[in-house]
Amino acid sequence: MSAPAQVGRRGRRSPTSTGYWPILFVGPLLLGVLVFYYYPIAKNLYLSFTKSNAFGGNTKFVGLDNYEALFSRPDLLSAIGNTLFYTAVVLLAIPISVLIASLIELPGLKFASLYRVLFFMPYLAMPTAITQVWKIVFNGNFGIINQTAKALGIEDPPYWLSTPGFAIAAVALFGLWSSIGFNVIILSAGLKGIPRELYEAASIDGATQWRQFRAITVPLLTPSIFFLTIMQTIGGFQLFDALFAMIGSGNPAMVQSRSLVYLFYNQAFINNDKGGGAAVAMVILLFVAIVTAVQFIGQRRWVNYV
C-alpha cells in the first residue's frame, strides 16, 4: 500500500466522532452546575462534621457529633412527620389537577385559555402575600371558614393557626391549593400531545367519556403526572416559607408544626450552629434522594412513554 493511501486512511474520522465541540458548548453549563450546585453540597457535607462560632470562625472537626445531637432531638420525629404529611397532602393536588385540566381541554370548550390563566395566576403571585390572605381565611375569630362553620351549627370551631395539629393542616391545605395552577398548565400541555384519533376510535367502539378518561387520558398522561410527582415531592420536603409566614416563630403551635427545613433554619440562623444546621440539610438531602430514587424505580411499572 502506498504512503499517500495510508496517510489518507489514518486521517479519516469516524462518522460518530464529534471532537471537542460538545465540551465547548456544554462546558460552561457543567461548570455552573459544579460551582453552584455540587460545590455547596460538598461544602455542606464538610460543615456537618464541624463546629464553629457564631461568625463561622474557630472551626473544629467533631466527627458525627452533629448527627448524634440531631437524632437525639425530641422534635426530629415530629418534624419528619409534619414534612411527610404536608408532602402527602400536596400530592393530592395532582389527581384534582388531572380532572381540572381534562375539563379545560374538552373539545369545543369556550374561554379555555382564560380558565388556564385564572388557574395559573395564583402561582405567579408572591407566596408571602398569598399566605397573608390565607391567614385571614383561617382566622379563628372572623375567618370565612369558622364563620361558615358557625353558620352550619358548629359552636366552637378551632383556631386553625394557633392550635397544634390544625396549624400544619391549614398550611398543607394552602400548599394543595397553591400547587394546582402549576399542575394544570403542565397537564394541559400533556393533554395536547394525546392524538384526538384515539378518542374518535374509542367513541366509534362505544366507549363512554369516563371509559376514555380511564383508558386513554390517564395512561398517556402518566409522564406528566410522574414529572409533577417528582417536583411536588421535592417541593414538599422544602416546606418553610408558607409555614413561617402563616404560623410564625412566636406562635405556640409552631413547636409541634415544625418542618425539617424549619429545623435547619432554627439551628443554623437562630442558634448560630452552622454545623448542626448542615447536618439537618444533609438529612433532608438524603430523604429527597431516597424518595426520588424510589419514584424513578417505581415509574417503570406505571408510566407509559409513547
Q: Is residue 20 part of a domain?
A: no
Q: H helices within the chain, ranges in order?
A: 3-11, 21-33, 39-47, 65-71, 76-91, 93-104, 112-124, 127-137, 144-151, 166-192, 196-204, 209-212, 218-220, 222-237, 241-246, 260-265, 274-302
Q: Is residue 24 part of a domain?
A: no
Q: Is residue 41 part of a domain?
A: no
Q: Is residue 234 part of a domain?
A: yes
- Which of 289, 282, 279, 287 minimizes the C-alpha distance to 63? 279
Q: Is residue 26 part of a domain?
A: no
Angle between helices 76-91 and 222-237 in degrees, nearest 10 = 150
**228: containing domain:** 67-302
Cβ neighbours of residue 221 under 8 Å, at least 6 residues apart? 98, 187, 190, 191, 194
Q: How far is CA 58 from CA 54, 97, 192, 266, 274, in A?
A: 10, 51, 58, 21, 12
Please report, in tens digits, the pLDDT of each residue of the chain (306 residues total): 455 555 445 555 555 566 678 888 888 889 999 999 999 999 999 999 999 887 777 889 999 999 999 999 999 999 999 999 999 999 999 999 999 999 998 888 888 889 988 888 888 888 888 999 999 999 988 899 999 999 999 888 889 999 999 999 999 999 999 999 999 999 999 999 899 899 999 999 999 999 999 999 999 999 999 999 999 999 999 999 999 999 988 898 999 999 999 999 999 999 999 999 999 999 999 999 999 999 999 998 999 887
Q: Is residue 286 part of a domain?
A: yes
Cβ neighbours of residue 246 under 8 Å, at least 6 residues apart? 131, 134, 135, 138, 161, 167, 170, 171, 174
Q: Is residue 156 part of a domain?
A: yes
Work out how many domains the chain is built from and give that number.
1
Please report, for the domain that includes residue 109, its CATH number: 1.10.3720.10
CA distance 4 to 8: 6
Beta-strand relationship, 50-51 and 60-61: antiparallel
Q: Is residue 149 part of a domain?
A: yes
| This model's pTM is above 0.85 | yes
